[in-house]
Structure 1
């Protein structure tokens, strides 16, 4: 997959992760792409562990990438404290 493909794929996976994780995310377009691409790596790693053991780096498919991006986004929000709970 070429660089432009990774960027578009990361953008879509990151955008879907932002839509799935509740609350407002104060991250820009570049960070959304980074979350999506990192999510693909995390999704591939987790899928590899669950199926046949550690296989090294292997990007995940679309669903695995979105799941990985959700994991990366939740960890990012916890580490940076960017997401605040809305008080009722």
Structure 2
């Protein structure tokens, strides 16, 4: 059941990130869920490195959305080249 919740929350985070970031990001719902999950991991990684989170502590919803937006921006730079 935990995996299903992770995918659903990842999908929600990915949808919010794609809505908030201006520009076109053509991807399906599976890649949107992967984006949200990866954004959460990215936010947690940066949070631990910057001292916002303790090791093993998960990122919150807003931090996950910010992490997903950062991944979209990074992907945009990589895809242009």
5+ residue gaps, structure 1: 82-88
Q: In the superposition, relative to structure 1, how do residues 31 and 3 fare at CA in structure 2: closer, same or farther (>3 Å)?
A: same
| 3-state secondary structure, aligned to 1:23 | coil
The superposition leaves residues 9-36 of structure 1 with CA deviations (integer Å, 9 ceiling, x where unpaired) of: 1001101110111012111111100110
- Residues 1-88 of structure 1: matches in 2 within 5 Å? 2-51=2-51, 55=55, 58-81=57-80
Q: Return the structure number with greater helix share.
A: 2
Q: Which segments of structure 1 move beyond 4 Å, counting only runs of 4 or more? A: none
Equivalenced residues, count: 80
Residues 14 and 32, structure 2, Cα contact 8 Å, conserved in 1: yes
Structure-2-length-normalised TM-score: 0.85
| 3-state secondary structure, aligned to 2:13 | helix
In structure 2, what is the Cα distance between the partners aligned to 1:53 and 1:13? 19
5+ residue gaps, structure 2: none
Q: In the superposition, relative to structure 1, how do residues 59 and 80 fare at CA in structure 2: closer, same or farther (>3 Å)?
A: farther
